[in-house]
């Protein structure tokens, strides 16, 4: 049962254009969402996050949007650069039934982004 | 600036052999965890620890064992390797378990092949 899903295995974009990576989740107890970026032969590195009390968070060229009612988040990269070519993982964490926060991360399958010069 | 260090980077095992993947962090993080990455499956949590002496199972714990005798180290043991354990393994740490500080730092990974 995949609680965090990235339905697009890959995305190809021209340099300078916008990249939009999507992520859906099913667990309504998730309250914190993160995006990680991974280059080949390296570990994932943190990119940007958003709390469920917000619907947008921006950091330079990267913006994450959260739609709680649709259980959907997206990562926008504007403008895209060839150095952004990597695998992007969406991850989520949340609270348990007792209301205690826990930080275990549940990851999506990843989306391979290729930005062409 | 070592962060999270994993050894070895590559390993080939025969079915039935045992081995330990090492993970060490120098950031005094309370929380450490092990993930495996498989094609089309993303990163799946194997085991995690919220502090020295405390460990718990994640999503896919079978065939793996962990211990946390110090804050710095969190080794992952394969008891009897199977081809299904062929994967890339990542160790991650973060300061605490709480979501308000949920940025996890990852090691570079160990690529394990079981033949």
B42/A89 CB distance under 8 A: yes
Task: Indicate the SS3 state at residue B18.
Answer: coil
Is the CB of residue A30 less than 8 Å away from at least one CB of chain B?
Answer: no
Longest dimension (CA), chain B: 42
Calculated CA dihedral for residues A108, B105, B74, B44, nearest 10 degrees? 0
Is the CB of residue A44 less than 8 Å away from at least one CB of chain B?
Answer: yes
pLDDT digits (tens, 9 = 90+) for A44-68: 999 999 988 999 999 999 999 999 9
Q: Which residue has the higher pLDDT, A90 or B42?
A: A90
Output the domain CATH number for residue A62.
2.60.40.10
Cα A25 from Cα A71, distance rounded (Å): 5
Provide the token pair at B37.
């990455």
Is the CB of residue A39 less than 8 Å away from at least one CB of chain B?
Answer: no
pLDDT digits (tens, 9 = 90+) for B61-100: 999 999 999 999 999 999 999 999 999 999 999 887 665 5
Q: Which residue has the higher pLDDT, B103 or A23?
A: A23
Give the range of the structural domain holding residue A88, as residue numbers without chain letter.
4-116
pLDDT digits (tens, 9 = 90+) for A23-50: 999 988 888 899 999 999 999 999 999 9
Q: Choose from B39-48, B70-79, B97-106 the range with maximum mean pLDDT.
A: B70-79
Q: Are B74 and B68 in contact (CB under 8 A)?
A: yes
CA of B79 to nearest chain A CA: how many angstroms apart? 24
Q: Is the pLDDT of residue B46 over 60?
A: yes
A43/B106 CB distance under 8 A: yes
Based on the structure, what is the number of domains in chain A? 1
**Facing residue for B97 by CB, picked from A31, A103, A107:** A103
Nearest CA in chain A to B109: A43
**Surface-to-core class of residue B109, CB atoms within 10 Å of its CB (0-12 exposed, 13-18 middle, 19+ buried):** buried
Residues of B in contact with A101 (CB under 8 A): 97-100
Determine the average pLDDT of the residues in A88-97: 82
Determine the average pLDDT of the residues in B25-50: 92
**Facing residue for B31 by CB, picked from A4, A101, A103:** A103
Cα A117 from Cα B103, distance rounded (Å): 31
**Facing residue for A101 by CB, picked from B90, B98, B109:** B98
């Amino acid at each position: 049962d995949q609680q965090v899903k990235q339905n697009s295995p890959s995305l190809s974009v021209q340099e300078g254009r916008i990249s939009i990576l999507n992520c859906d989740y099913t667990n309504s107890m998730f309250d914190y969402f993160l995006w990680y970026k991974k280059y080949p032969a390296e570990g994932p590195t943190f990119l940007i996050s958003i709390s469920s009390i917000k619907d947008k968070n921006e950091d330079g060229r990267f913006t994450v949007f959260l739609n709680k009612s649709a259980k959907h988040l997206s990562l926008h990269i504007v403008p895209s650069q060839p150095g952004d070519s990597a695998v992007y993982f969406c991850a989520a964490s949340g609270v348990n039934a007792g209301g205690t926060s826990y930080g275990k991360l549940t990851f999506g399958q990843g989306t391979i982004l290729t930005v062409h010069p | 600036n070592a962060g999270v260090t994993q050894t070895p980077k590559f390993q080939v095992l025969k079915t039935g052999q045992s081995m330990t993947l090492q993970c060490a962090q120098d950031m005094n993080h309370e929380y450490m965890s092990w993930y495996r990455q498989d094609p089309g499956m993303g990163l799946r949590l194997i085991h995690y620890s919220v502090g020295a002496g405390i460990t718990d199972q994640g999503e896919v714990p079978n065939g793996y064992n962990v211990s946390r005798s110090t804050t710095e180290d969190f080794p992952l043991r394969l008891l009897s390797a199977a081809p299904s354990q062929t994967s890339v393994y990542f160790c991650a740490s973060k300061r605490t378990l709480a979501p308000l500080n949920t940025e996890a730092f990852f090691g570079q990974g160990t690529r394990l092949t079981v033949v």
